[in-house]
Amino acid sequence: MYASHELGPPKCCKWSESHCCYSETIESIRRVIPVYLEDLIAKINQSDDEEKISCVIADTSVGGALEVAKKMGLEAVAIWPAGAPCLALAAHIPQLLQHEIINNDVCYKFYDLILCNSVYELDSSVSKLIPNALPIGPLLAGKTWPQDSTCLAWLNRQPAASVIYVAFGSSTMASAKQVEELALGLELSGHPFLWVVRPNFMDGSTVKFPDRFKDRVSGKGKIIEWTPQEAVLAHPSVLCFVSHCRWNSTVEGLTMGVPFLCWPYIADQFSNKNYICNVLKTGLELMKGENGITTRREISSKINTLISSDVINSKALHVKEIV
């Protein structure tokens, strides 16, 4: 088996650690990778090495690699790292186009098999819509930022099922006003909280908290740049998960049996929120006001509603047993 990360990117690609040239990087991948991949496969399969390449497994975001596989007569297996509901939607784009529900000239193309980061027992009805998909989840994400494990010792000192865990992934950003409302909402709830705040969480700039906020919550709150999230969600002191609902975080929360307060921002996060709140019924949605801000009272109120719901908590534990 040959893994792409062992081979490294072509030298002609310009890679940025800050991800500031994301669109250029994606365009480079689409333009350059297929050429290099086809040449690499041809060299390996024409060599004397007994290990010939017969199958290419690639993320759907690099579909060019799968097209190369089909062109060379190899089996092509796609990986869909997001949830099954979004995959089902993608699979039915031709029908949506046919009935003019959407208007787009790009259709999703499937290959021999597509591996989906989902669990059949949770998504059986959705899986029936995509018969050439194979659920292989839950797949849990690896490290993306340096982790600070000191929060685990802090969690050890908290009562069981008492801590509100707040984390919005590696790229979500919030306005200064939203950061203020979130901070005051956590304080208003009266519960201990563990809040992951990246250095660039506030619209890419240094986060500023309300006056004397840290002093007021010093006995109950802990603010940290990054956590070992799986270990945090599995900790018995964690009560609920305030999340942006990206699929990795969704899978981790479901696997650990933690109820959600859903705060989606972009892309599949909205579909995942519906999945959590309306299908699995293991969480509640945080609503925005007319100005697009989720207020401190909405945050505090939903926290208390969630933790007092025996139904939501029991459903979260039931999902944990399934996955």
Q: Are residues 317 and 180 in the same domain?
A: yes
Q: Are residues 226 and 268 in the same domain?
A: yes
Q: Are residues 120 and 230 in the same domain?
A: no
pLDDT, greater one: 308 or 107: 308
Q: Are residues 263 and 315 in the same domain?
A: yes
The H-assigned helical ranges of the chain are 4-7, 22-46, 63-71, 84-91, 93-98, 120-127, 150-156, 176-189, 213-216, 229-233, 247-256, 269-274, 296-307, 310-322
Q: Which tens digit of pLDDT belongs to each residue from 19-31?
A: 445 567 667 777 7
Q: Are residues 101 and 162 in the same domain?
A: no
Which of 135, 166, 198 corresponds to the end of one domain?
A: 135
Q: Is the residue at 195 inside a domain? A: yes
Q: What is the pLDDT of residue 13?
A: 44
Q: Is the residue at 73 inside a domain? A: yes
Q: Are residues 116 and 160 in the same domain?
A: no
Mean pLDDT of 68-92: 80
Q: Which tens digit of pLDDT belongs to each residue from 246-277?
A: 888 888 999 999 999 999 987 778 888 988 99
Q: Are residues 97 and 192 in the same domain?
A: no
Q: Is the residue at 88 inside a domain? A: yes
pLDDT, greater one: 20 or 92: 92
Which of 89, 105, 135 corresponds to the end of one domain?
A: 135
Which of 135, 162, 191 corresponds to the end of one domain?
A: 135
Q: How does residue 111 score in pLDDT terms, banded at 50, 70 and 90? A: low
Q: Are residues 311 and 185 in the same domain?
A: yes
Report how far residue 83's alpha carbon sits from residue 272's, in angstroms, rounded to the nearest whole number. 7
Q: What is the pLDDT of residue 6?
A: 43
Under 8 Å between Cβ of 80 and 271? no
Q: Are residues 124 and 217 in the same domain?
A: no
Q: Is the residue at 241 inside a domain? A: yes
Q: Are residues 110 and 173 in the same domain?
A: no
List the end-to-end C-alpha distance of the chain, in Å, as a whole number.
29
Q: Is the residue at 144 inside a domain? A: no
> Does the pLDDT at position 34 exceed 80?
yes
Q: How does residue 8 score in pLDDT terms, banded at 50, 70 and 90? A: very low
**Domain limits for position 211:** 150-322
> Does the pLDDT at position 10 exceed 50?
no
DSSP state letters, 171-205? T----HHHHHHHHHHHHHHTS-EEEE--TTTBTTB
4 Cβ partners below 8 Å, 6+ apart? 58
Q: Are residues 157 and 70 in the same domain?
A: no
Three-class SS state of 138: coil
Q: How does residue 241 score in pLDDT terms, banded at 50, 70 and 90? A: very high
CB-CB neighbours of 139 under 10 Å: 15
Q: Is the residue at 187 inside a domain? A: yes
Q: Is the residue at 183 inside a domain? A: yes
Instruction: Give the C-alpha distances (Å, rounded to integers) separating 12 from 217, 252, 297, 309.
Output: 50, 37, 52, 55
Check which CATH number belongs to the domain holding 274 and give it.
3.40.50.2000
Instruction: Give the chain's domain count.
Output: 2
162: left (phi over 0), alpha (psi -120 to 50) or beta: alpha
Q: Are residues 74 and 159 in the same domain?
A: no
